[in-house]
Amino acid sequence: MAQYAACVCLVCLVVLTSCSGRGGLRLGAAAAARPAATITGDRTDTTVAYAAEELRAFLDGTIDFGAARGSSAAASMKWTFDLQVDTAMEAGTFSVSCNKESDGRLGVKLRGADPACVLHATYTMLERTGICFDVLGPVRPKRLDLDGLVGWEVTVRPAVRKRGIRQHINFPMDISSYPLPEAREYIRNLARLRFNHVTFHSYDGQWVPYKRPDGEDALAGSFFYGQRHDLPARPHACDVIRNSKTYCIPDIEPYYDLPNERSPHLSRCRAGTRRDVPAQC
């Protein structure tokens, strides 16, 4: 037994010495360096700029967009994503192409007949890498397949020019009862599905104040056609509803029974739904 133990110790010593001579023992594989990339396009257009933000956000962790100009990483830039409006394209059309240059670099061209189409081209490309866009939110794979872009080319001419959802708001459980961040994300998810229109069917008095025929002021905040919908006295229902007392926009609920305070808060909430959402989606 003693001889066996001595033999094992000798073998371990030899292995450790060998590893030391080759730069030391490494536990686990070193993380592969992310390929460097850059995004080009007309950032003065808000929709194209938003497309670039989405592209960067979804590829972050797979591609390094932070290489400084003049750095070694920038000099060995592997990917270029170019977002451009091509007015020569048929209205509503968008395309994606990825070509390998003679120096080994990969150029992805995202083209669209208008800025919204450039955004749609961006999402079409991201789907090719393995991301699944859904109305409930994006579903990401464990690993993005960038190799699937190489040599790929597609032009999309949608059969339906105006694609979207007509929202009949002013009901207890529609988008008008979402917290503001969720309402924004819902609109973004529609854009990711390449919808380009949304209609909000509403009435005076819900979002903005107005004058009645008799000259009286009607304040904003008349939810659900003036009807009040309090939460049912059922614990299992209250546990899954974010309102604490009555159905309405959760951000407005603290002012629900204070009409003079509710109206200005609601107007600001309405303006907030337009912020950070592309003008064209």
More confident residue, 4 or 89: 89
Do residues 208 and 202 lie in contact, with contact meaning Cβ atoms separated by under 8 Å?
no
Mean pLDDT of 85-106: 93
Most confident of 112-121, 172-181, 183-192: 112-121
Report the pLDDT value the prediction gives residue 32, as an integer from 0 to 100.
Answer: 56
Q: What is the pLDDT of residue 21?
A: 41
Q: d(Cα 261, Cα 15) in Å, to the nearest integer? A: 76
78 CB contacts (<8 Å, ≥6 apart)?
35, 36, 37, 104, 105, 106
Mean of pLDDT values over 237-266:
83
- pLDDT of 11-51, one tens digit each? 343 333 444 443 433 333 334 577 888 999 988 999 999 99
Place 123 in a pLDDT band, splitting at 50, 70 and 90. very high
| HSE-CB for 211 with a 13 A CA cutoff | 3
What pLDDT does residue 206 have?
Answer: 77
Alpha-carbon gap, residue 130 to 257, rounded angstroms: 48
Please name which of 58, 50, 77 lies closest in space to residue 66, comparing C-alpha atoms.
Answer: 77
| Tens-place pLDDT, residues 203-229 | 777 777 888 889 888 888 777 767 788
For residue 69, what are the CA distances in angstroms to 36, 55, 65, 77, 143?
A: 11, 20, 11, 10, 28
What's the confidence (pLDDT) of residue 67?
57
The yes-or-no verdict on residue 1 having pLDDT over 80 is no
Per-residue pLDDT at 34: 78
Query: Does the pLDDT at position 119 exceed 80?
Result: yes
What pLDDT, on the 0 to 100 scale, is given for residue 68? 46
DSSP-derived secondary structure letter, 67:
P
Residues 6+ apart with CB under 8 A from 234: none
Q: Encode pLDDT of 125-147 as tens digits.
A: 999 999 999 999 999 999 999 99
**Widest distance between CA atoms in the chain:** 107
pLDDT in tens, 222-250: 777 677 888 888 888 878 888 888 888 88
Q: What is the rounded distance in angstroms from the CA atom of residue 182 to the CA atom of residue 203?
A: 22
User: What's residue 51's pLDDT?
Assistant: 97
pTM of this structure:
0.74
pLDDT of residue 136: 92
- The domain spans of the chain are 37-156, 164-272
CATH code of the domain occupying 37-156 = 3.30.379.10
CA distance 27 to 25: 7
Q: What count of other Cβ atoms lies within 10 Å of the Cβ of residue 53?
A: 15
pLDDT at residue 142 in the model = 92
User: For residues 175 and 186, is the Cβ–Cβ distance under 8 A?
Assistant: yes
